[in-house]
Structure formats: C-alpha cells, structure tokens
Amino acid sequence: MIFKSYLTKHCLAAAIVASLLQGAVTAAPVFAETVAKSDETIAQETVSSQKPAISKEQTTAQELLQGEATPGTDNTAAQPDVTQTGTAESGQTVATSSDATPAGTADATVAGSDQPVGIDHSAESKPIVNEFLKEGEGIPGTEVPYQSETSLTRKEWREVDQLDKDMRILQREREAFFKNRAKEKEEKEKAFAKAFADRQEYSIVFDPDDFTKKTMNANGETVTFRAYEHLVYAKKPYDAESQMLSVYIPEAYFNGGTINGFTAETAPVFMPNGVGGYMPGLIVEPQEESRHGGANSALYALSNGYVVVSPAIRGRSLKHRNGYETGKAPALIVDYKAAIRFVRKNRKEGRIPAGDTEKIIVSGTSAGGALAALAGATGNAVEYEPYLKEIGAAKGRDDVFAVMAYCPITNLENADMAYEWMFHTADAYYNNMQSRRKKPDGGGAAPADEVKDRPLNAPAEAKTGTAITPEQKEISSELKENFSEYLNSLNLRDSLGNRLNLAPDGDGLFREYIESLYVASAQEAIDTGETITKTPWLHIQDNRVVKMDLPSYVRTVKRLKGVPAFDAFDMSSGENNEFGTYDIASKHFTRYALEHSAFVTAPKLEEEEEAAKERAEKLRKAPTVVEKRRLQKANLLEQMEKDKLDLSQYMADWQVIRMMNPMHFIGRENVQTAPNWRIRHGALDRDTALAIPAILALKLKNNGKAVDFKVPWGYGHDGDYDLPDLFAWTDRVAKIKDRADAILLAEKEKEKEAKEAAANKDENENNKAQSFKSKLRSLNEPAIEPAIEMSNEMTNETKEANSEAPQSSI
C-alpha cells in the first residue's frame, strides 16, 4: 500500500508537471498569434471554424469571404464597394473594397453575465487552452467572443454567392455603359474633325513688300505708316476672317529715324484686341476719331513710335456654315497666343522690319480686358499647346511684357459670389434683356428704355429696374457667404503684409481695402478740382474723404445684373454662351448654377457627400455578410441610375474653365507671367464687382509683379478713356527696360574688353620675354642656356600663383 501510494503520488506529480509544460508550450504561440493577426482575421477564423458543412456549389462564396481576411489578397474586382464609386472622365469606374469581417459567431453570452455559453472546446476547432491561467490574465485569441457575429446558414451562403455574381454582372454592364458613352463622344469628335478636314491651309510667312502707305492725323500730329493688313496668323484656321491680323509700322523707322526715343530695334509692340462680351473681336485699325474723341489707341500708339499689331479673334457667336460652333472657349485666348507667336517668329526671322518682341504690350476692355489679363498671366503654359497645334500656330513663345486691362470681366467661376458680396443689398437690377447684345456693326436702334453709350457688346442697361424676388434674395445670400470662403483661401496680403480676409458675414480687412480704393479715387478727384461733395455714399470733411458707405453706394449707382450675374440658371448670359462647345450652344461654368439649373436636376455636392457618409455608416454597421452584400448591390444600382444623367451636357469642362481664368496661372512654375500690369476699374462700374480686378491685382503684387491699379473717378464700364496716361505708363516701363538692357549690355562689353586686354597683355609680355631670350642666346656664352631655363620655370610659377590668387570684383 505504501509503495502503491508512493507511486501514485509520483505519477500525479509527473502529470501535473507535464500539464504545466504543455500549458507553457501551447499558450505562448496562441498569444503571439493573436498579436500578429488582425481582428478581421481572427473573426473570420471563428466564422470558418463554426460554419456548417456546405455543398460544392457554395465554395465560391466561401472562398471569397475567406479571402477578405487574407493579407495581400486583392478581391476588389469580385467584391466592389459601391458606397464611394465615381466615374472618371474617361468613363472608367472607380471602386474600392471596404468589406469588414462578417459579423456574428455561434458564441453568445448569458444575459447579465460575462461568461460565454455554448463555446466549442473541441481540439478540432482550436489549440489546447492553458487551464492554469489565473483569472484576469486573458483568454487565447481564438476564444475571444464576438457578440455581434452569427453563423451563416446554407441559404445565406447561397444568397451571398448570388449577390456577388449579380454585382459582377452589374459592374460589367456599367463598364459597357461608359464605353458606349465614350464611343459616342469619340464619334462626335470624329465627325467634327471630318467636317473641317479639308479646311484651307495658309502661309504664316510675313511678306515685307506687301503693304500700303497711309497718313492720318493723330490729335493734330501727322502720322505716316505702312499697313500690312489682313494676314492669317495660323496655318489651319477654322475661320480665316476671324483669325487674321494687321501690322502697322511708322514710316520713320524705314529711314533710320527715331520717334519718342524709340528706333526700329527698340520700338515696343502694341497688341490691342477688339473683343467685347466674349463676341468675335475685330482688328483695331488706326482711326482719327474714337468714342472718347481724338485718335483711338492704335493711331495714338503709332504717333508715339510703337509698332501696332492687332488681331481679329474668334468669339462665342461664331458658327461655321457646316453648323458647328467654332468660337467657344478657349478659342479667343488660343487665337491671341497664335498672333503673338506669329509676330515673334517673323520678327526673329527678319521679315517684320521693326519692333522689339521682348516688349509686347497687350490691351483690351471688358471681356477684352479679361483676354489681355489671360494672355499676360499664362505665358507659355502647356495647357494651350494642343489647341495651338490644332490651328497650326507658329512654334515658340507667347509670353508678353506688359498688360493693360480695362474693367476685366474675369475669374468667371467666382464672379457671381463677388457680385453678390458687393451688391446683395440692392432691391432691383437694371439689366435690360440680359441675353441681348448690341450688334458688332453698331446697327439697330436701341429700345427707348435702354441707357445709351454703353461699350460694344456690353449688356444692355434699362432706365427702370426689375425687382429682386425673395427667392433671388436667398440665392444672393448664399453666394455672398460662399465668397468669404473663396477670398480667404487666396491668402492675399496688402502692402504692409496684413492678410486681407473676410468673416462669414462679409466684413473684414478685405472689405476695408475695397472701400479704401473708392476713397482714394474720390480724394484724387477732389485734389484735381472736381466737386463731389454731394455724393451721398461719401463722408467728406474739409475736402478730405473720410470714409465711404458701401450699401449707400449700391443704392446710388444701382445694381446692373440679375441674380446670379454671370452663370444664369437659364443659361441666357453671354458667359454661358462662351462656355458652350462645338455642338452645344451654352453651358454652366459653376457648380452652384448647375445645382439650380432650369434644364437639369443635378445633385448638390453637400447632399451627395452626406449621402455617401450615410451609406458608408450603414455598411460599417451591417450585422451580417448577407446584409452588407444587399446594401452594396443596392448602392451599385443607385449609382448606375445616376450614371444615366450626363452632366457634361450642361456643365463646361473644368480644364477649360481653368484655362479662362488668369488666377490659376499666376505664380505657377514654368509659366511666364508678364512683369508689368496696369489695371483700371471705373468707380461707377457695375458690370462686375470691384473685388474681381482687386483680387487679380493683389495676387499679382503678392507674386512680385509691378502693378498700377486704380479706380478712376466718374467712369463706369469703359476703356481707352485715358490714352495719354496709358502711353505715359507704357513709355516708362518700356524705357526702364531699355535702360536696364543697356546697362547689362555695357557690363558685358566691359567684361569682354577686360578679357581681351588681359589676353593682349599676356601676349605682349610673352613676346618681350622671347625677344630678350633670343638676344641672350646670340651671345653664345655657355652659362646662358641654364639661366634661360631657370627664368622659364620662375615665369611659369608666377603665372600659376596669379591664377590661384582670389580675383577682386567691382
């Protein structure tokens, strides 16, 4: 008995030790495995261990689900997440898989208790558990219960498999849909190209012998010049009549003369455009009379010694006889650049007899001012290259030296917001038939209710106003609030470095800056002798303008345009027409107008984003794989229904919108923005808000450009009203460049002369030394030759020392 008892105790001890060892061996790998694996993997293994036996046809769905938890496995194609699908411009479907681990296991808990019940402890489903773990030390990872998980029945697995198959079929259908849409677009483009395949090809080589000599009177001064007229500036124009230019050169330059200090080599090249309202721009020919009296800008420039090059430019209303539109954006800036390249090419090749193409000055008013600003901001930008190649423009640079922009209607995708920020307090607008424009030839009598003396192609102005409706007031308020966000994103600074921002209510340093521009304009008028004391929106004390009242200004000058001012909901504005395409007359160019369009019900971005978040949240909380698949299929079907709406039929291409806005190019790498700018916006101008040219001027200044920006008193939406001042400015910036170039040239000449003098000195010294040595050798003394060799060595050492010594710079 004693032996048996002793043996039993020893066996029991051995068993206990073995059990401890077994627990130590099995527990460590289990916990290490738990750390290495993700929660998704653990949960998936739990489901896999407890799902019922399935038939062969269920294998596909089972493998798909197991693959979700396997690192490095890509199941995106089989299990698309349509919560955030999007369609690229090419029609490709963008989808990401976000499947989580199927929720639910066979484990459950007793209500009110933390103890799991019904857990399978069989060795087939999990490793042996260390039974000697103390309470609180944890449980092996494979035993962690996921209370939200439930096992799938055979019927549910079949449904998952079927849903996956359905979604794969739907994805293929969606891809086919976009391929068909892309094919239709490609066929339209081919038809357009075919319609113009046989368009005439022109030479863009300038003929210096094909000219007419003309003489005109410029404000009492006789001006004789040579006119090279109606030269096509692109090899393959879509409309030759609208893609030609004229060159005017003062006759004095052909006789070696000078005008205003300029010669044939140094004369600036003045390139005015005749664009207005984004309509086709005519060649600005020299004229003795203009709308402001006296010579127009072209003749004034000739009298000041400038070479004048004026291009005709395609505009929004241009339609070919085959029915296609040929003047939509970005046609006008492409043409302007092509004309600039034509001048540079032919001047460089010696065909154009005069003009300094490093001093090209562009000028325009209203939409023409916007065009001048665009040409100045986008020098050599690559975005325009395909369009220039398409019309056969000359290769080369298209950057310019200076810009003169009168009241530029620019920054169009943000112009509506700026207009409401400034004019939201108005109760009526005075635009008479917003979509009507004056004819380019000036023909046709103006209605009796229309204000006369408006610029060419400008919106007609009525004498009596149209009341703004409550709905328009609400729209105005929304746009006004949006402007603050846009303005603050620009991070503009004044001359003192202060950030010009706005609060959500529209007040802030930027508003004070805008008001200061009006104050400065009024003060300059007082200082020059004008009487403005009865201006109701100004506070004047002792001939000093103290401040201005913006709401009072709006009541006094009156709001011109409706709500919104540019991107009309019915696409009736000239700007809508400008952003059309070769087969669609007009389009929206802001998301806000698209969402409020009279022609299409477009989803609002904010609502779309909110709906996407809700769908994602539903997927995240889906209790089972089956429910998740159902949601994914429903989302995919919903997206396919949305795909049927082709918003590109109503909304302009974003790339084209950017190409029409100089703000996107200023300060950008590899773009040569003009260094000199003169911008004017009349104090009474209501065609666009003062904020728009002010933003342009500030961004240019903040990027180191020289900007002369003013608000001339007493002028509305107009241009070329101050030609003496304009050409005083152009003379100054051009002659500053000439002086700078002369100084640089003189420095280079000095450098060259110094190098030549040093080379000559070395040569002379070497000649003298050789002559002296020859005389020594003629003495026939034995000691002479060693002395000469020593002299050569000393000379070489001296030269090396001199070359290594630091050179002084002056």
The model's pTM: 0.75
Cβ atoms 659, 331 nearer than 8 A: no
Cβ-based burial of 747 (10 A; exposed 0-12, middle 13-18, buried ≥19): exposed
**Could you tell me which of 275, 280, 216, 214 has the C-alpha nearest to residue 247?**
214
Could you read off the pLDDT of 407-455 as tens digits, one per residue? 999 999 999 999 999 999 999 999 875 433 333 344 444 444 555 556 6
CB 254 within 8 A of CB 239: no
- Phi, psi (degrees; rounded to nearest 5) at 142: -70, -10
Of 130, 157, 156, nearest to 142 (Cα)?
Answer: 130
- Residues near 304 by beta carbon (within 8 Å), at least 6 away in sequence: 259, 260, 727, 731
Q: Which of 161-175, 273-287, 772-786 has the lowest mean pLDDT?
A: 772-786
Write the pLDDT tens digit of every residue in 263-310.
999 999 999 999 999 999 999 999 999 989 999 999 999 999 999 999
Whole-angstrom Cα distance, residue 408 to residue 291?
19
Q: What is the torsion angle, in degrees rounded to the nearest 10, for the CA atoms of residue 682, residue 685, residue 689 and residue 692?
A: -40
DSSP type of residue 153: P
- Which of 150-164, 350-364, 416-430, 477-491 shows the lowest mean pLDDT across its residues? 150-164
Confidence of residue 685 (pLDDT cuts 50, 70, 90): very high
Mean pLDDT of 751-779: 73
Around 384, how many Cα atoms within 13 Å sit in the side-chain half-sphere?
33
SS3 assignment, position 681: coil
237 φ, ψ (degrees, to nearest 5): -70, 150
Estimate the crossing angle of helix 784-804 against helix 723-777, to 10 degrees.
160
Print the SS3 string covering 504-534: CCCCCHHHHHHHHHHHHHHHHHHHCCCCCCC
State the residue for tokens 């290259």. Answer: 385
What DSSP element (H or E) covers 227?
Answer: strand 221-232
Residue 85 or residue 330, greater confidence: 330
Given pLDDT bands bounded at 50, 70 and 90, which one contains residue 592? Answer: very high
Name the token pair of 721.
């009203």
Q: If 0-12 CB within 10 Å is exposed, 13-18 middle and 19+ buried, where does residue 418 land?
A: buried
Model confidence band, residue 609 (pLDDT cutoffs 50, 70, 90): very high
Section 357-367 average pLDDT? 97
Mean pLDDT, rounded, for 457-483: 91
Band the pLDDT of 315: cuts 50, 70, 90: very high
Which of 70-79, 369-378, 564-573, 604-613 is predicted with the least confidence, judged by mean pLDDT? 70-79
Least Cα distance to 687 among 337, 438, 423 occurs for 423
Mean pLDDT of 683-691: 96
What is 76-143 written as a DSSP string? TTTS-EEEEEEE-TT--EEEE----PPP--S-EE-TT---EES----TTTSPPP-TTPPTTS---GGG
**CA 693 to centroid of chain Cα atoms:** 17
| Residue 594: Cβ-neighbour burial (10 angstroms; 0-12, 13-18, 19+) | buried
| Beta strand spans in 432-553 (E) | 450-451, 461-467, 538-541, 544-548
- The structure tokens listed for 572 are 């009736």
| Cβ neighbours around 162 below 10 Å, total | 13
Q: Nearest CA to 297 among 677, 773, 720?
A: 720
Average pLDDT of 778-789? 64
The amino acid present at 598, given as its one-letter code, is A
Residue 466 has pLDDT above 70, yes or no: yes
Nearest one of 383, 384, 365, 381 to 373, comparing CA atoms: 365
Q: Among 240-249, 264-273, 336-345, 539-548, which is the least confidently predicted range?
A: 539-548
The average pLDDT across 359-371 equals 98
Q: What is the spatial distance between Cα 439 and Cα 317, in angstroms, rounded to a whole number? A: 11
- The Cα 590–Cα 577 span in angstroms is 13
Give yes or no for a cis peptide into 564 (omega within 30° of 0).
Answer: yes
Question: Which tokens belong to 56?
Answer: 């062969």
Phi, psi (degrees; rounded to nearest 5) at 759: -65, -40
The percent of residues in the chain predicted with pLDDT above 70, rounded, is 73
Q: How far is CA 754 from CA 276, 743, 760, 763, 798, in A?
A: 55, 16, 10, 14, 21
Residue 807 to residue 810: CA distance in whole angstroms: 10
User: Which pLDDT value is given to residue 563?
Assistant: 96
Strand partners, 86: 94
744 pLDDT exceeds 80?
Answer: yes
- pLDDT at residue 283, as a whole number: 98
Mean pLDDT on 680-709: 97
For the chain, the average pLDDT equals 82
Buried b (16+ CB within 10 A) or exposed e, 318-351: beeeeebbbbbbbbbbbbbbbbbbbbbbbbeeee
Average pLDDT for 634-654: 96
Inform me whether the pLDDT recorded for 350 exceeds 80: yes
Would you state the pLDDT for residue 90? 37
Interatomic CA distance for residues 36 and 56, integer angstroms: 32
The Cα 260–Cα 304 span in angstroms is 6
CA angle, corner 310, sides to 292 and 658, nearest 5? 100
Average of pLDDT values for 570-597? Answer: 97
Tens of pLDDT, residues 111-157: 344 443 344 444 343 444 444 444 444 444 443 433 344 578 889 99
Assess contact for 355 and 402: CB atoms under 8 A.
no
- pLDDT score recorded for residue 595: 96
**Chain segment 505-563, per-residue pLDDT in tens:** 999 999 999 999 999 999 999 999 998 888 999 999 999 999 999 999 999 999 999 99
pLDDT of 782: 63
| Neighbour order of strands in the sheet with 450-451 | 428-431, 461-467, 450-451
| Bond from prior residue into 330 cis (ω within 30 degrees of 0) | yes
